[in-house]
Structure 1
Amino acid sequence: MARVSQEHLDARRRQILDGAALCFARNGFHATSMQDVLKEVGLSAGAVYRYFSGKDELIGAIVGEVLGSVRAAFEEALRQSPPPPPDELVATVLGTVLASRESLRIDGRPAFPSLVIQVWPETLRNEELAAVLREGYGSVRAAWAKIVEDYQRAGMMRPDIEPDHVARTMIAAVLGFIAQQSLFGPAPVEVLRDGLRALTSMRDDRAPADGPPLG
């Protein structure tokens, strides 16, 4: 019997993950059965279960893969000294993640934002998925904090703000932007880039108020 190449195995695994992601984004995790996944990918149960034991393992693999790609993008940014400014960095990282899943579409619309929205409530009942998300979130947060420290050392960012506070805020901005895409339709990452650019360029030139306090 001929040996199956690693390239074939990887392609089959990719096929299963992409098909499952479409099912989950379209109908949610609870409404999607393994039969739905089998139908989507056009494979037998034996072929799919060779790679994944069930829905929970599929979900964990999809989430872990996305978070891994985000972490890798930030680690690449850390190799630059100093890293690109926050608006450019966010647009580059998010744009890379979205582009890598551009082919996954539901009725012509990108499926990835809807998939992200589906993940959040699922973590409330799936402790293994919650653990995957916590680990991934923690690594992305740590990478962002290191980038902020580089900004501060380079004089690009005020030094009196805790790096982790900036990291949490930037992650919140990205997640909020993805949620908007799921709820209100696609928008280019340049929208987020330009908004961050405007916010980070603000100066507070207000003079302190004179006179006695009111009251």
Structure 2
Amino acid sequence: MPKVTEAHRQARRSEIAAAALRCFAAKGFRGTSMSDIIAASGLSAGAIYGHYASKEELFFAAAQQVLSARSEELEGLRADHGPLAPGEVIVALIDGMRGDDLTPDLFLQVWAEAAIDPAVRAMVREYLAPIRGMLHRLVAEWAAVNPGLAGGDPEAYATRTVPVLMGLAPGFMVQRAVLAEFDEEAYLATVRTLVPR
């Protein structure tokens, strides 16, 4: 039997996570079963369970793929333009989320589940930790080259600013999901003006 390479293993895990995210987007987190994910993937139950033990684990893996894509975009912007202002960081993050399979409806369902289910809450906290870390690093970097705007202490500025920035993305997703008149472009343009460049 040929040996499975790590690259093949990672590709299979990504394929399964993508199928899971499609199911979550179509049926919601609570409404999706492992059987749904198995059917959507076209793989056997053994193949799925050989990589993931539960739908919570699968959701986390799918969310990590989304995070990885957003991180790469932000690093590319930073490489092209130097330190990014807090407004530009969060606008890039939100704009990238608009193209993901992590739909506003699914986003809201997961946040609601996190409020009542300790296992989902732990998963969301684990998912948010690297986002907070990435935002803190980027905001502190910007603050270090803009001491007049940031108050002279880059770390303290980042510590105060990152929770506010993180609140802007859920606000965007909630309004996008429930308000027919929500103007996405105006929201993003305003974020750019409210949060320093």
TM tier relative to shorter chain: 0.7 to 0.9
Of 167, 171, 174, which residue of structure 2 is paired with 1:176? 171
For 1:13, give the aligned amino acid.
R
Contact persistence 1:83–1:147 (CA under 8 A): yes
Does the 8 Å contact 2:176/2:184 carry over to 1? no
1-side partners of 2:66 and 2:117: how far apart? 18
Coordinate RMSD, CA, aligned: 3.4
The residue aligned with 1:83 is: 83
1:157 aligns with 2:149: yes
Q: Structure 2-normalised TM-score?
A: 0.74
Which ranges in structure 2 are unaligned for 5 or more consecutive residues? none
Runs of 4+ in structure 1 off by over 6 angstroms are: 75-81
Percent identity (aligned): 27
Aligned equivalent of 1:167: 162
The answer to which of 158-167 and 112-121 deviates more is 158-167
Decide whether aligned partners of structure 1 residues 158 and 10 sit closer, same or farther in structure 2, where only a CA change above 3 A counts: closer
Residues 142 and 49 from structure 1, CA distance in 2 versus in 1: closer, same or farther, beyond 3 angstroms? Answer: closer
In 2, the alpha carbon distance for the partners of 1:68 and 1:8 equals 19
Give me the whole-angstrom Cα distance separating, in 1, the residues matched to 2:3 and 2:63. Answer: 30
Residues 67/133 of structure 1: CA separation in 2 closer, same or farther (3 Å cut):
farther
- Please report the TM-score for the alignment, with normalisation by the length of structure 1: 0.69
Equivalent residues in 2 for 1:1-215, closer than 5 Å: 1-70=1-70, 83-99=83-99, 101=100, 104=101, 111-155=102-146, 157-159=149-151, 162-184=157-179, 190-200=185-195
- Please list every run of 5 or more consecutive structure 1 residues that lacks an aligned counterpart in the other structure: 105-110, 202-215
User: 1:159 offset after TM fit, Å?
Assistant: 1.0
CA contact (8 A) 1:87 1:194 kept: no
Indicate how the Cα distance of structure 1 residues 142 and 35 shifts in structure 2: closer, same or farther if over 3 A, else same.
Answer: closer
Higher helix fraction: Structure 1 or Structure 2?
2
Aligned residues, how many?
192
Structure of greater Rg:
1
Deviation at 1:165, TM superposition (A): 2.6
